[in-house]
Amino acid sequence: MLLSTLRPAGASLAPVLRAAALSTGGKGPFARSRKSQQESGAAAAQQAELELRRLAVIGGGNMAEAIITGVLSEGLIPSAKVVVSDPNPAMRGKYAKLDVETHTRNSSAVKDADVILVAVKPQVVDDASMDPDALVISVVAGQSIKQLQKLLGQNSHIIRTMPNTPAMIGEGTTVWAQSAEVTSVQHELTKQILGSFGVEVQTAARLPDEGVSSDCGGY
């Protein structure tokens, strides 16, 4: 009788459960459930931010091909959202097997790209008109972060890398450093991209002026 007095037949228990959760100061299984939902929502939001929406690659050499193959193999981005820019028809032609888009002009390739891989000779780098907020990953030998920012903009979000030769076959190590402008999301994207074709190691130290090869065209 006491129960039927407190809760008429057919009445919902939801108000009682909410009151119970509140009366315990937010503790207990109901509070944990809410916390779990909040954490899941935050994780989903972060994962959405980490999604690689469009990858532009300037220069279609060997290192560029290794990186593109890596990100596609790891499922970081579909081939339809990858574009390669190279004036050499032979370079562009070899990407047909990867089913990615190709262009002759850098400005066309980088349009709407959130990540731009620079794999060309230094004097060609500044030909591109890039989004100032895009993440720029450089495999260009002999170009420091400051030099790249001088070419691309003082506040550019730069990752400078030094991949070793085995990285070209997906079995190498890439040492990398970042500019102060790189965001936490871009930092995590970098780890995913560089880790897709070998081992990635971040360093706070200044990288040497020479990379895996002095011939950037081979990249």
Domains within the chain, CATH numbers bracketed: 13-49 (no CATH), 51-218 (3.40.50.720)
Q: What is the pLDDT of residues 54-65, one digit of tens each?
A: 999 999 999 999
Q: What is the mean pLDDT of residues 183-190?
A: 96
Helical H runs in 25-75? 29-50, 62-73
Residue 84 has pLDDT above 60, yes or no: yes
> What is the pLDDT at residue 145?
92
DSSP 208: P
Q: What is the mean pLDDT of residues 150-177?
A: 89
Q: What is the mean pLDDT of residues 70-96?
A: 95
Could you tell me the pLDDT band of residue 213, with boundaries at 50, 70 and 90?
very low
> What is the pLDDT at residue 128?
60
Q: What is the mean pLDDT of residues 118-128?
A: 70
Query: Could you tell me which of 189, 61, 168, 136 has the C-alpha nearest to residue 147?
Result: 136
Residue 168 three-state SS:
helix
